[in-house]
Chain A
Amino acid sequence: MKQPVVLGVGLTAFGRRAPMTALDLMSEAAAAALEDAGVERAAVDGLLLGYATTLPHLMPATLFAEHFGLAPSYAHGLQVGGATGLAMIDLARHLVASGAVERMLVVAGENRLSGQSRDQTIKTLAQIGDPEHEVPNGASVPAYYALLASRYLAETQRSEEDLAGLSVLMRRHAQAYPGAHLRKTIDRSDVMASKPIAEPLKQLDCCPISDGAAAVLIGQRGATAGRSVQLTGGGQAHTHQHISAAPDQIAEGAGLAAGRALGQAGREVKEMQVLGIYDSFSVTLAALLEALGISAPGQAPLEVEAGRFNLDGDLPLNPHGGLLSYGHSGVAGGMAHFVEVVRQLRGTSPVQAARMPDLGLVHADGGVLSSHVSLVLEAET
């Protein structure tokens, strides 16, 4: 077995990137990842591509390979909603470890903001719901997560103001990060006063819709200069598709996935030193931090307030600003957390944590906390 490592990462600026198309954005991120790795196109023998709602296609990986100038010996698309990026990296890890692929390029991106209307995006995303028993009610992704939020608040006795603190933390982190979509200073009263979307969620509890792309090159150990980042564990859990069929503890798949990833790495969650956790809504981040075992039930918002997840706290969280403020361009939005944790472990982030981390956990969910992927990353010290 060969030890899989991160050879290079690329992340475009997120926001309104018109007239860039999905292929333009993917190409920008892929070129950045290859440049970061010091690898030529000809040396890429594997390609995994995330779906793009603005570029639906039967053969997305082949389409991108032709466009970008690759002729890989292994290539296909993949889709598990917001967990797609980490699922692709998890697969790349296995294929590199087995020797089936030497250098796997993982790419995702789309012009989700400028390439279609907001209503079209909301309608497309709503299709993760049950087409016969949920969607015809007028359900949408914000509504599904609002139902989750109502459960979270009822079970934990936390308040909407408590949840608002997670949005404020993500915005504070994004402010210093080049390329972040949203950077205007906000406080909890701004979140509380923002337009209601689906109670208890308000506009600033929800991530923006962004254009953007991300790319990662996974390969074998020994092929990189500088501080190498190893992928030492990965785990998944797929507990349900629709929220009406979710377990009573809706987010429990997160704990299952992380347990599998940490077990494989021979690590415990309390050893982690930097986090990249999916944050499509403020409540997503709170629910995942708790289901992952990072915070006790109901404690995540209080730990945010106490500074635990700040850059100078003991466990920096989403230093790039997460989906809530760096932005959300679909699959690439979930990959940005991975890119940022790699940068933190290599010491190359534009907002480096006060204490150089050696161990990181990245986690994403797709659907309504339906599909979960966790990855454990370790700097080679």
Chain B
Amino acid sequence: MTESAPVELETCGCGAAWLARRGFCPLCGSKETTVVTSRGRGVVWASTLVHRAPLPSAIGPPPYGLLLAVLDDFPRVRVMALSHERLQIGAAVSLVRLDSERSGAPYLATLL
């Protein structure tokens, strides 16, 4: 695994934004989409501490935190991210991709 990298999204001129790239807009159907970088700030929307898992996570074996965060700059997008502890709903976090060489997860959230 290499250094961390920003959260990337795909957006459409109609206002839609989403994580999983598909080359078209799932809201209006347009093929004119753009890949953008989020500022990586968000608020925790749901949160757990995982105690049992079949495999270790990217930040180590259980227990590890897992949460959904709503991005400040794309408030319709929720990012699922790891955290080193269980964070409270409503907490402000910064979000990064943990592996710059691959798109998507694992993501890491840390308290701001």
**Could you tell me which A residues sit within 8 Å of B by CB distance?**
119-120, 122-123, 130, 132-140, 142-143, 146-151, 154, 195-201, 243-245
Contact = CB atoms under 8 A, between A and B. Distances in A.
A123 B19 contact: no
B50 A140 contact: yes
Interface in B24-68: 45-58, 63-64, 66-68
Interface residues of B, number: 34
B92 interface: no
Given A133-B105, A134-B80, A146-B66, 5 more contacts: A122-B53, A132-B105, A134-B105, A147-B66, A244-B78
B14 interface: no
Given A137-B58, A137-B82, A197-B51, A150 B105 contact: no
Contacts of B68: 147, 243-244
Given A197-B51, A199-B48, A244-B19, A137 B106 contact: yes
A300 to B, nearest CB: 19
Interface string B75-96: 0001111100010010000000
Q: Which of A122, A137, A151, A244 has the most CB of B within 10 A?
A: A137
Nearest to A197: B52
Given A154-B89, A243-B68, A136 B48 contact: no
A134 B48 CA distance: 14
A254 B105 CA distance: 29
Contacts of B89: 150-151, 154
A147 B67 contact: yes
Q: Which of A123, A195, A245 has the most CB of B within 10 A?
A: A245
Contacts of B54: 119-120, 122-123, 140
A243 B53 CA distance: 18
Contacts of A122: 53-54
B86 A199 contact: yes
A125 to B, nearest CB: 10
Contacts of B107: 133, 137
Contact of B66 (A119, A143, A195, A197): A143
Contacts of B45: 151
A242 B99 CA distance: 22
Chain A: interface secondary structure? helix
A199 B80 contact: no
Contacts of A201: 48
B103 interface: yes
A366 B79 CA distance: 21
B104 to A, nearest CB: 4
Q: Closest 10 CB pairs between A and B?
A: A138-B57, A146-B48, A132-B104, A119-B54, A136-B105, A147-B46, A199-B49, A196-B51, A244-B78, A137-B105
B59 to A, nearest CB: 8
B75 to A, nearest CB: 11
Contact of A138 (B19, B46, B58, B86): B58
Given A133-B20, A147-B47, A243-B68, A142 B79 contact: no
A136 B51 contact: no
Contact of A151 (B46, B49, B64): B46
A139 B54 CA distance: 10
Contact of B80 (A123, A133, A148): A133
Contacts of A142: 50, 52
Given A146-B48, A150-B48, A199-B51, A133 B64 contact: no
Given A119-B54, A154-B89, A136 B47 contact: no
B19 A133 contact: yes
A260 B18 CA distance: 30
A136 B46 CA distance: 18
Contacts of B57: 137-138
